[in-house]
Amino acid sequence: MNERIPLKKKILSENDRLAKEARDEFSHHSVVALNLVSSPGAGKTSLLERTLQALGNDIRIGLIAGDVQTENDATRLIKAGGGEMVWPVVTGGACHLDARMIMRVLKDVDLDRLDLLFIENVGNLVCPSSFDLGELMKVVLISTTEGDDKPLKYPAMFRRSGLMVVNKTDLLGTSDFSMQRVVGNARSINPDLEVIETSCRTGVGLDKWEDWLRGLLASGQ
Amino acid sequence: MNERIPLKKKILSENDRLAKEARDEFSHHSVVALNLVSSPGAGKTSLLERTLQALGNDIRIGLIAGDVQTENDATRLIKAGGGEMVWPVVTGGACHLDARMIMRVLKDVDLDRLDLLFIENVGNLVCPSSFDLGELMKVVLISTTEGDDKPLKYPAMFRRSGLMVVNKTDLLGTSDFSMQRVVGNARSINPDLEVIETSCRTGVGLDKWEDWLRGLLASGQ
């Protein structure tokens, strides 16, 4: 199966071409796009629900919600205030979003009506790391229930992200998860990685996430 | 990229051929092989550590520990009593184990010295579902911190598994996870799916898992 590697390169190079088109679109319309990645169940949708509730009146937020199957996340985000600015993408078995899927959705999106676009990827710490979606930055979520060794075991995702959100801090102490260790492990792979600790359940730390988003938008990125 | 689908078929058909070789090997040596799959951090390695401690004196257990990067899991399993019967497989970026990797490891394994072989897959609820490793059965772990909607969102994995272990039951009540809902969702996809509830932290439910394993071995599978 020697053709696998050249084919993978070809797929990724085609993806990069389409990601550049998406990036140009975002830039042209001054939209900040973030690609949200994590394991299944780390809290991507919960974080986005909280973000809509906190910032939805000040910032024009759009959301592309990727899933292997079901539109459950999109439904949750619509209910949380995303309204008509939520676009589901069901990959039908594929383990990641790719730039072609994003370009297809963008046909339905009036980017002039948005400041910030979240792309919620499929829950998977491996495959989505390889696919640029035209985003400004990947934001990786990890929950305290997953174990603090995950950055070492899935390094590509942490290397390619600009921010790590450590979620479910309300469950610290129920396992041997150490905040110091997870940050140390992540920064051993990516020394520039920013870190924010949150609990989407209690709300602790969400102010820092919201400030970070406001700062990103204000910096004119 | 129209060549993607035929190529995927070709890869899977080659994988099936090698998986059949592995299955024949297991059968010839009367080894029960289980393919353990889950999200990152659901507790595969913890369950195996507990299993080695509980059954390691009665049952001859081997473990193939797959990871994208690092041999951390293998090291944990060796310490937990797996000793020289632990074989790490680092996929080097690949998001799943495949039958070729298993056949390569089996060259170093004396199957006559084993009753039970666990294959701990890469932490990923999507890709490993497509790759037969010659196992008797896939066992899917899900932790109560991941959300009870996961069987609906990642249906292929739950459709192709014979047993679902719901782990981290000590954390029930810290989220809106419902045991009834997760079982209902999983059985809406796979009505024959067996279910065992465990907490690898407290040990509750592990007796059922151990009984299940003993039953599987006794049934002469």
Distance from CA of A112 to the nearest CA of B (A): 31
A/B interface, count of CB pairs below 8 Å:
122
Distance from CA of B41 to the nearest CA of A (A): 4
Asked if residue A205 lies in contact with residue A199, where contact means CB atoms within 8 angstroms, the answer is yes
If you average pLDDT over every residue of chain A, what do you get?
Answer: 95
Alpha carbon separation from A221 to A131, A168, B106 (Å, rounded): 21, 29, 52
Residue B50 CB coordination number (10 Å): 20
Q: Please, where are the H alpha helices in chain B?
A: 4-28, 44-55, 72-77, 99-106, 150-153, 155-159, 179-189, 206-218
Indicate the DSSP class of residue B134: S
Query: pLDDT by residue (tens digit) across A144-168?
Result: 999 999 999 999 999 999 999 999 9
Q: Which chain A residues in 114-143 lie under 8 Å from chain B, judged by CB atoms? A: 122-127, 143
A37 DSSP β-pair partners: A140
Report residue B149: phi and psi, to 5°: -90, -5
Q: Note whether B39 contacts A123, CB cutoff 8 Å.
A: yes
Q: Note whether A143 contacts B147, CB cutoff 8 Å.
A: no
A86 closest CA partner among A122, A57, A49, A112: A49
List chain B pLDDT tens, one digit each, 221 residues.
444 567 788 888 999 999 999 999 999 999 999 999 999 999 999 999 999 999 999 999 999 999 999 999 999 999 999 999 999 999 988 999 999 999 999 999 999 999 999 999 999 999 999 999 999 999 999 999 999 999 999 999 999 999 999 999 999 999 999 999 999 999 999 999 999 999 999 999 999 999 999 999 999 75
Nearest CA in chain B to A175: B201
Query: pLDDT by residue (tens digit) across A1-40?
Result: 444 567 788 888 999 999 999 999 999 999 999 999 999 9
The residue ranges of every structural domain in chain B are 10-218
Query: pLDDT by residue (tens digit) across B55-69?
Result: 999 999 999 999 999
Distance from CA of B157 to the nearest CA of A (A): 11
Q: Note whether A123 contacts B154, CB cutoff 8 Å.
A: yes
What is the structure's pLDDT at B10? 87
B6 interfacial to chain A (CB closer than 8 Å): no
Q: Note whether A41 contacts B40, CB cutoff 8 Å.
A: no
Q: Note whether A126 contacts B125, CB cutoff 8 Å.
A: no
**How far is it, in rounded angstroms, from Cα A60 to Cα A55?**
8
Give the percent of chain B with pLDDT over 70.
Answer: 97
What is the structure's pLDDT at B5? 65
Q: Which of A18, A89, A91, A175 to mutate to test the interface with B (most CBs of B within 10 A)?
A: A175
Nearest to A156 among B93, B147, B201 (CB): B93
Nearest to B11 among A1, A149, A154 (CB): A1
A74 interfacial to chain B (CB closer than 8 Å): no
Asked if residue B164 lies in contact with residue B142, where contact means CB atoms within 8 angstroms, the answer is yes
Report the amino acid identity of residue B183.
V
What is the structure's pLDDT at B1? 41
What is the structure's pLDDT at A176? 93
B201 closest CA partner among A182, A125, A124, A177: A177
The whole-number average pLDDT for the span A52-68 is 96
* pTM listed for this prediction: 0.93
Q: For the domain A10-218, what is the CATH superfamily, name and number?
A: P-loop containing nucleotide triphosphate hydrolases (3.40.50.300)
Nearest to A67 among B67, B153, B170 (CB): B153
What is the structure's pLDDT at B114? 97
